Amino acid sequence: MKINVRLVALALVVAGIFACAQKNNKTAPLPEPVNGKVLIADIYLDANDVCPLCMRYAQVCLIEGNGQAGFSDALTEAFTQKSYGIVKGKISKTGKPDPETVKLYAQLAKKMGAKYLVMPVLYCWSERRGTALSSSQPARVGFHIHIYDPETSKEIWGGDFNEEQEPLSENILDVQTFISRGGKWVTAQELAKEGVMKLIDKFQKAQEKSAADTGN
């Protein structure tokens, strides 16, 4: 019986790969930034076990060379796809983010007309080894995203994404996720983008809930 389940799963994966190959590769037009503008702060690379913004535990791994650039692209792509406009800006203060960092960024975000300030902390970035169809080591990423109100510098929401794309042999039940990723081994950047989009969904749900609770 177990073999049958595996065979069915394998057939689904193969079907997924073919379905993906047949997909039209035309890039869709970018969505309108109807959700307002976000200022995404410089990514802080964290080598410690504790996030400097929320003091929560973070499961660090070695951040590989392209981590910062890859995560930056993943953030931009995910927020754009979720209908936010992106504004870029830097402050002169560098290093470990603290309340002063948040305040300076919030002031800048306000000046630039951003509705939200996004502070990203990256603590794990391990690239996929091998190809999309055959990987000896899947990608793994871990990060926190903290979102602030530029008006008040107060945190509105914070979330954590920490995931490794699991080898199929270890979790046959995850075949659906594998297929949803086009039946392939994703890169760290693709995994990170998926993670940021998941966190944006959670953030938006929390916003809707708090609006409903306060009757706004």
Summarize as ranges the residues that interact with Zn ion (CB under 5 A): 51, 53-54, 144
Q: Closest CB to Zn ion among 53 and 168?
A: 53
Q: Which residues pair with 47 in a beta bridge?
A: none
What is the number of the residue whose Cβ is closest to Zn ion?
51
Q: Are strands 129-130 and 85-87 parallel, antiparallel or unpaired?
A: unpaired
Q: Closest CB to Zn ion among 44 and 178?
A: 44
Given a contact cutoff of 8 angstroms between Cβ atoms, the answer to whether 97 and 49 are in contact is no
Q: Closest CB to Zn ion among 175 and 200?
A: 200
Taking the complex as a whole, the smallest distance from the CB of residue 46 to Zn ion amounts, in Å, to: 9
Given a contact cutoff of 8 angstroms between Cβ atoms, the answer to whether 163 and 138 are in contact is no
Taking the complex as a whole, the smallest distance from the CB of residue 61 to Zn ion amounts, in Å, to: 16
Taking the complex as a whole, the smallest distance from the CB of residue 136 to Zn ion amounts, in Å, to: 31
What is the C-alpha to C-alpha distance for residues 25 and 33, in angstroms, rounded to an integer? 23
Taking the complex as a whole, the smallest distance from the CB of residue 56 to Zn ion amounts, in Å, to: 5
What is the C-alpha to C-alpha distance for residues 99 and 12, in angstroms, rounded to an integer? 49
Q: Closest CB to Zn ion among 100 and 166?
A: 100
Q: Closest CB to Zn ion among 157 and 178?
A: 157
Taking the complex as a whole, the smallest distance from the CB of residue 52 to Zn ion amounts, in Å, to: 8
DSSP class per residue in 127-161: PPEE-SS-EEE--EEEEEEEEEETTTTEEEEEEEE
* 47, amino acid identity: A
